[in-house]
């Protein structure tokens, strides 16, 4: 899931200061789990904006904010409220926000959240980064643990010389990713695999902006 946090309210107010009326859009997927785009978060934002002398013309928490077409269809019932707004405030990830940019070509769109990383909810309301979307996954060679994301240096062959007592030299409060990989390989009786050097990655696989046509890709994968 995409992990988001709400923007600093002063910064948000600075961005939206020239507008008075807003339509709010959340997302019932990741942003709801993060508490940044849920119905409650939108209610709270509405109260905040009202307290700042602004008007909220309407609000919607679409099923999946980053599904542009689906969100556009869901917004049809709110056409009047959207038309009445000077601008759109989106409480989802950056992708959901850009759905709104595409849906509303003639209205300013503002993100209310900062998108932080792709991660997992490891405990209630606790999120940990898991994947850096590198374009070619290597964790089949690293015991299912991503070194690109979990090692601050992104080392494909580790640990580095700074590892100390199993902890990372860059962030001593976290375990060294490569120690974790070693421990898991040992547990899986795969320790021999660690003797193989992982070749340099082809970073062009993760070139931006990414685009995937899933149907075509499926056909190519089948060969």
> Which residues of the shown chain bind ligand SF4 in the complex (CB under 6 A)?
131-134, 137-139, 146, 148-149, 151-153, 155, 158-160, 162-163, 168-170, 176-178
Residue number with CB closer to ligand SF4 (2 or 56): 2
CA 203 – CA 181 distance, rounded (Å): 22
Omega before 209 cis (within 30°)?
A: yes
Q: How far is the CB of 120 from ligand SF4 (least distance, A)?
A: 11
CA 72 – CA 128 distance, rounded (Å): 31
Q: How far is the CB of 33 from ligand SF4 (least distance, A)?
A: 20
Q: If you search the block for the tokens 């209205």, which residue do you land on? A: 107
Instruction: Determine whether 110 is exposed, middle or buried from the number of CB atoms within 10 Å of its CB (0-12, 13-18, 19+).
Output: middle
Residue number with CB closer to ligand SF4 (13 or 138): 138
Q: How far is the CB of 137 from ligand SF4 (least distance, A)?
A: 3
Residue number with CB closer to ligand SF4 (104 or 178): 178
Q: How far is the CB of 203 from ligand SF4 (least distance, A)?
A: 10
Residue number with CB closer to ligand SF4 (54 or 180): 180
Residue number with CB closer to ligand SF4 (10 or 173): 173
Residue 92 · residue 66 · CB < 8 Å: yes
Could you tell me which residues come within 8 angstroms of residue 58 by beta carbon, excluding any fewer than 6 positions away? 23, 24, 78, 80, 81, 82, 84, 85
Q: How far is the CB of 133 from ligand SF4 (least distance, A)?
A: 6
Residue 101 · residue 110 · CB < 8 Å: no
CA 142 – CA 134 distance, rounded (Å): 15
Residue number with CB closer to ligand SF4 (27 or 151): 151
Listed in sequence order, the DSSP H helices in the chain are 9-16, 30-33, 39-51, 68-75, 79-84, 94-103, 147-150, 177-187, 214-222
Q: How far is the CB of 153 from ligand SF4 (least distance, A)?
A: 4
């Amino acid at each position: 899931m995409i992990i988001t946090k709400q923007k600093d309210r002063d910064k948000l107010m600075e961005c939206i200061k020239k507008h008075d009326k807003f339509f709010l859009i959340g997302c019932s997927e990741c942003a709801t789990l993060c508490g940044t785009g849920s119905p409650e978060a939108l209610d709270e934002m509405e109260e905040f904006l009202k307290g700042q002398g602004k008007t909220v013309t309407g609000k919607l928490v679409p099923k999946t904010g980053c599904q542009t077409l689906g969100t556009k269809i869901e917004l049809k019932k709110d056409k009047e409220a959207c038309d009445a707004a000077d601008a759109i405030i989106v409480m989802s990830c950056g992708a959901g926000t850009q759905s709104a940019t595409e849906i509303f070509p003639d209205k300013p769109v503002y993100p209310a959240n900062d998108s932080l990383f792709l991660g997992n909810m490891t405990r209630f309301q606790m999120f940990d980064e898991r994947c850096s979307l590198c374009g070619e996954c290597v964790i089949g060679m690293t015991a299912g643990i991503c070194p690109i994301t979990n090692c601050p240096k992104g080392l494909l062959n580790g640990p580095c010389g700074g590892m100390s007592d199993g902890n990372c030299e860059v962030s001593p409060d976290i375990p060294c990713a490569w120690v974790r990989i070693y421990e898991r390989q040992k547990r899986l009786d795969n320790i021999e695999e660690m003797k193989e050097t992982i070749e340099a990655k082809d970073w062009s696989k993760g070139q931006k902006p990414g685009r995937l046509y899933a149907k075509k890709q499926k056909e190519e994968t089948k060969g």
